[in-house]
Each structure stands twice: as C-alpha cells, then as structure tokens.
Amino acid sequence: MPTSDYDPACLPDLLPLYYRRLFPFSQYYRWLTYGGVSKSYFQNREFSFTLKDDIYVRYQSFSTQNELEKEIQKMNPYKIDIGAVYSHRPSQHNTVKSGAFQALEKELVFDIDMTDYDDVRSCCSAADICSKCWTLMTIAIRILDRALREDFGFQHLLWVYSGRRGVHCWVCDEAARKLSVTARSAVAEYLSLVKGGEETVRKVVLSDPIHPFISQSLGVVENYFNKYAIVDQELLASKESVDRVLSLLPEDVRKELLVHYQNEKNPVNRWGILTDLVNQKREMSSKKGGYFEKEIMLQYCYPRLDVNVSKGVNHLLKSPFSIHPKTGRVSVPIDVRNVDKFNPFEVPTISLLCEELDKSRADEEEDGIKNNETQSAERRKIRDYKRTSLAKYIKLFDQFLDAMAHTRKGEILKKSDLQKEF
C-alpha cells in the first residue's frame, strides 16, 4: 500500500479536498447532536482548530451542520479538537460574565499514548511505534473496554486511533457525558494501576484481596504476555532488561534468580523460573501479598492512562476523522470486536485517500459517466468516500451511531410507557 509517501509539506494542498469530498460531516453532526437531546447541545459545543504554523484557535462553535461544514472548509484546519458542551455558545464566551461560562457536559474520554510506556518498551521510543509495541494498545483497549462496559455499565464506546502513536476512547452514554469532575477522576483512578513518576521503580503494588477488576485485567494480560513481553520485547534476554525486571523483586528472590539465570539463558524458561519461585515463596510465607510476577506483568503491560485528560470536563481531545499532521493518517474508529487485527500502519493517509479519489474520478470519466450537476453535494460525497479506503471506517462509525439511536429509542418508549400507566 503506497501510504509511506505522505509528505507533510503537501498537507495544505490535500486538506481542502479532504474536507470538501471526504470528511463525514453528516455522521459527525448526527453524533454530536445526540438525537437532539437539547437544541443547544451541538451549538454550545466547543471545537478548536489548529491551523498552519501551530496557530491555535479555541472556542469555535456552530449553529448548524452547514455552518460547521462551511467554516471547516474555509479554514482547512490541520487538526480539529473537540471540547465540552458549555452553558453558552463558546464563540460568544467573551460576552458572557466571567464565571457564568461553564463547561457542563462532555463524553468521558481516555487517552493512551505510547510515549508513556517508554520505560517498558525496548523496540522503539518516544513517538515511534512498531507492530510489536502496538500490542500494548491492543491490551489497553481490551482491558478498558471490558471494564467500562461490565463494571461501569457504559455501552457506547467509540475507540479511535489517534493517527500516530496512541488511541482515544470516547464514552458517549448519557450518564457518562453528565459525570462530574470528581466522578471522572474516580473512574480514571479505578482504572489506573501503574502509579508513580520517574522516582518510582515499582509502579504496581498488589495486596490481598485482589479485586475482581484486577483479576479480569490480569486475565487479558496473560493472553498476550508470553508472546509480547518475553518473545517480542525480550524481557529477560539482555543483562539490562534482566536487571530492570529483578529490581521489582525482593532481595532474596533476586539473588536466587541471578544464580539460576547463569545457566538458563532462554527468556521463556527464565520467566518460568521466576514465576515458580515467586509462587513457591508466596505459598510458604504467612504474609499476605507477594504477587510479584503479577506486578511485573502489569507494570509492563497494563494501560497507562493520562488521568488528567479524563478528569477534566473542559479538556480538549483530538476529534475522530481529524488528520494527524505528522503522519497524515486519519483518526479512524477502531473495531473493538476485531481489535487484534487492527494495524495502525494500514490506516489510510490523506494522500492515499486523495489518490484514490482521483483514480476513481478518472475511472468515471473513462466510463463516460458525467458528473450530474443536479445531484446533491451530499450524495456525491457519500459516493466519494465509498470509493476510498475510508469507507469501512465510516461504516463502523455509522454502526456506532445506529446503536446509540437504538438505545435512545428504547428509552423514549420506556418513558412513554411509564406515562401511560398514570
């Protein structure tokens, strides 16, 4: 797939085409109006645009889909962020008495970024990713998706590839959008297991009893650990990586292991020895805790959330279908049912999409089909994206929106049934 030929310098030339012919405005508008809960829900939503040269414009807001569309097509933002639904129109925030302008609601969001795993990846660092470390994102999605649904009861989760080195989750249930800052931070903390900054070595500490949430999460990690950590990341191969793992263990275990490791070089076997030894010690000891092998697994694989992003109601997050200016890749929805198959390197870049568009137009002309001027622009656009590799991602987005509409309809029925009873 010729995706590698994206050149950031071409972005200004490609964006107008993308926003005119490909960006799914009608689905986007359908999403953010939430079935018309209240008229102002879309109008009071903050958007912010990053323009050329990192010029950042906050507090944009729009009355209608048309207005949003026109403005985006005029400004051609390099990046679009979505903020909160405010008490007033964000575009008029300066005219409102200070203090009265307040963020009221927003999706509960999660941001997982590969740079936060730098101390536990050996394949890449910083902004780089490869298919090896992408497994960390797969694990993160599986763990959080399960917990948000089964523990917290949310149903409408939109997982999105950030376009570069991470994933975002938008929890869109009504209850999630209405959560207070305190509630958001409580949820985020419930979901955080890896704690501490650069001055902490042992970042996961487990104690008895092990909460069902942790057991469930460990279950997910276990499915990936051997292949991902032991084989791909060579967790116990080099001296440095062995040292790093052993620093998470108590002195006596560490010493014993070092002896064993002198004769055993195979990383898989080394891990086996480690778990056996830790288990043995745990069974012999009367003390509680001692789940060191589990702690290691979690420290190396458990999702690392940016809690601050999730906490704030007014925090901005990159919008789905926005382009990542560095990679040119579109922020596309991820199909959680097939999350293991998701490959960030297969996500189309804006240059690929434009190429596909051109090609299909050329085909059309060859076939002698002339653009029918009376055809509505909307329909033409649908036809446009359907010819590109964006189609399957927009279809996912549609399914997500349909599911939400379905829930809403159910609730309306329930309400009116209740009313009938009286």
Partner 1 sequence: MQFTRRTKKVALGSNPELYGHCLQLYGQPPLESVSLVQFETFAVERLKLLKSVENLGVSYVKMSDDYQKKLSTELCSLNFPHRTSVEDKNQTGSTEYEKRRKDHISHFILRLAYCQTEDLRRWFIQQEMDLFRYRFSILSAKYKTEFLHRNNLKYDTISIEEKKTLKDELINSSYGISGATIAEQEFYRVPFQDALDLVRLRKVFLQVGYAYIPHQDIVTIVLNDFRTRLSKALALTARSLPAVQSDERLQPLLNHLSHAYVGQDYSFQKNIGKVSLEQIDPLSTTSFPLCMRQLHKALREQHHLRHGGRMQYGLFLKGVGLTLEQALQFWRAEFVKGKVDSEKFDKAYAYSIRHMFGKEGKRTDYTPYSCMKVILSNPPSQGDYHGCPFRHSDPELLKQKLQSYKISPGGLVQILDLVKGMHYQLACQKYFELTHSVEDAGFSLNHPNQYFTESQKLLGGGKEVKKEVEPPQRGQEIAGSNAQSAPTQSPKVQALDKMGDLESFFLDE
Which positions are annotated as active-site residues? 46, 111, 113
Nearest approach in angstroms of CB 19 to partner 1 is 24
Q: Which does 123 bind (CB under 5 to 8 A by kind): partner 1, Zn ion, none?
A: Zn ion
Q: Which does 223 bind (CB under 5 to 8 A by kind): partner 1, Zn ion, none?
A: none
With CB under 5 to 8 Å by kind, the binding choice for 124 among partner 1, Zn ion, none is: Zn ion
Nearer to partner 1 among residue 201 and residue 369 (C-beta) = 201
> Rounded to the nearest whole angstrom, what is the least distance from the CB of residue 128 to Zn ion in the complex?
6
- The two tokens of residue 123 are 């394949």
Cis peptide before 209 (omega within 30 of 0): yes
Alpha carbon 5 to chain centroid, angstroms: 25
* Total residues interacting with Zn ion, rule: CB under 5 A: 5
Print the binding letters for residues 131-150 with partner 1: x by CB under 8 A, - otherwise: -------------------x
Judged by beta carbon distances under 5 to 8 A according to partner kind, the member of partner 1, Zn ion, none in contact with residue 133 is: Zn ion
Cα–Cα dist 207/294, whole Å: 11
| Contact residues for 272 (Cβ-Cβ < 8 A; gap 6+) | none
Rounded to a whole number of angstroms, the minimum distance from the CB of residue 267 to Zn ion is 17
Name the one residue in this structure whose structure tokens are 């999105």.
160
Among Zn ion, partner 1, none, residue 98 binds (CB under 5-8 Å by kind): partner 1
List the structure tokens of 138.
């797969």
* Least gap, CB of 211 to partner 1 (angstroms): 5
Contacting residue, 6, 47, 110, 154, with partner 1 by CB under 8 A = 154
Q: How many helices (H) and strands (E) does the chain have?
A: 16, 8
Q: Report whether 137 contacts 110 (CB < 8 A).
A: no
The three-state secondary structure class of 387 is coil
Choice between 34 and 302, CB closer to partner 1: 302
Q: Verify binding: residue 152, partner 1, rule CB under 8 A.
A: yes
CA dist list (Å): 52 to 41, 49, 80, 91, 234: 29, 10, 12, 21, 42
Quick note: the x/- pattern for Zn ion over 64-103, rule CB under 5 A, is ----------------------------------------
Direct distance between the N- and C-terminal alpha carbons of the chain, in angstroms, rounded to an integer:
62
Contact flag: residue 251 with partner 1 (CB under 8 A): no
Amino acid at 178: K
For residues 106 to 135, the per-residue mask of contacts with partner 1, x marking binding by CB under 8 A and - elsewhere, is ---------xxxxx----------------
| C-alpha span between 187 and 181 (Å, rounded) | 10
Please tell me the distance from the alpha carbon of residue 309 to that of residue 185, in angstroms, as a whole number: 10
SS (H, E, C) 5-55: CCCHHHHHHHHHHHHHHHCCHHHHHHHHHHHHCCCHHHHCEEEEEEEHHHE
In the complex, the smallest distance separating the C-beta of residue 156 from partner 1, rounded to whole angstroms, is 13
Within positions 213 to 242, which residues make up the interface with partner 1, using CB under 8 A? 213-215
Query: For residue 362, what are its two tokens?
Result: 């050329």
Calpha distance 91→71 (Å, rounded): 13
Shortest gap between Cβ of 251 and partner 1 (angstroms)?
A: 11
What residues from 105 to 134 belong to the interface with Zn ion (CB under 5 A)?
A: 123-124, 130, 132-133
The reply on whether position 52 binds partner 1 by CB under 8 A is no
**Distance (Å, whole) CA 243 – CA 252:** 14
Give the interface with partner 1 as residue ranges (CB under 8 A).
54, 98, 115-119, 150-154, 175, 179-180, 182-183, 185-187, 189-190, 194-202, 209-215, 304, 306-308
Give the interface with Zn ion as residue ranges (CB under 5 A).
123-124, 130, 132-133
